[in-house]
Structure 1
Amino acid sequence: MTAVEYEENESKLMRKAKENPFVPAGILGCFAIVAYRLMKMKNRGDTKMSVHLIHMRVAAQGFVVGAMTLGVVYSMYKEYVLQPAAAQKALEQKTALEK
């Protein structure tokens, strides 16, 4: 198991949401874009159905890839910026107590 302990009855989605808060945002954004584009299907004008569906897929995929990218940047920030800063602060406090 990872360094973070989880409750036994906690779902996998909830664990992933705690580890990376951009997962639920990506899922919700994907569903929102698909729902919006399906509602706009009546007013698509003379655009072919296949082109409309391709645009919907590309928009939904783009949102999910963007959310994943933000999630990776966020996790790298936590791992490489916040953790070393906390470790440095703890080391400074330890050396101050020893003096």
Structure 2
Amino acid sequence: MAADKNWTDYDDSGSSKFMRKARESPFVPVGMAGCLAIVAYGLMKLKSRGNTKMSVHLIHMRVGAQGFIVGAMTLGVMYSMYKEYLAPKDPGK
């Protein structure tokens, strides 16, 4: 039953879960940081957008952020494929 389990050993706070996920796949935090940086840059440039419509500006910002995330995901997949298939294996393990 669930009452018999020892839940004191289970640490799943937000920061520990994020750090565990970041160690497993290091390109996730890179993608998140890049997305946030692009959004922050777009918001800073919001006042100086000239005669561009707000919707067009937001679409450009979204496309830039999505492009950065797709790039980070692609690099992450390539890195994991390298580790799994091409990296030299330790025969002692």
Stretches of structure 2 that go unaligned for 5 or more consecutive residues are 1-8
1:47 aligns with 2:49: no
Larger CA Rg, structure 1 vs 2: 1
Name whichever structure is richer in helix by fraction.
1
Of the candidates 33, 39, 44, which is equivalent to residue 34 of structure 1? Answer: 39
After TM superposition, which residue ranges in structure 1, 4 or more long, deviate above 4 angstroms?
none
**Superposition TM-score, scaled by structure 1 size:** 0.74
Number of aligned residue pairs: give it.
Answer: 81
**Superposition TM-score, scaled by structure 2 size:** 0.79
1:9 corresponds to which letter in structure 2?
Answer: D
- TM-superposed CA distance for 1:9, in Å, is 2.8
Q: How large is the Cα RMSD of the aligned pairs? A: 1.7
Stretches of structure 1 that go unaligned for 5 or more consecutive residues are 1-6, 92-99
| Alignment-derived partner of residue 22 in structure 2 | 17
Report percent identity of matched pairs. 69
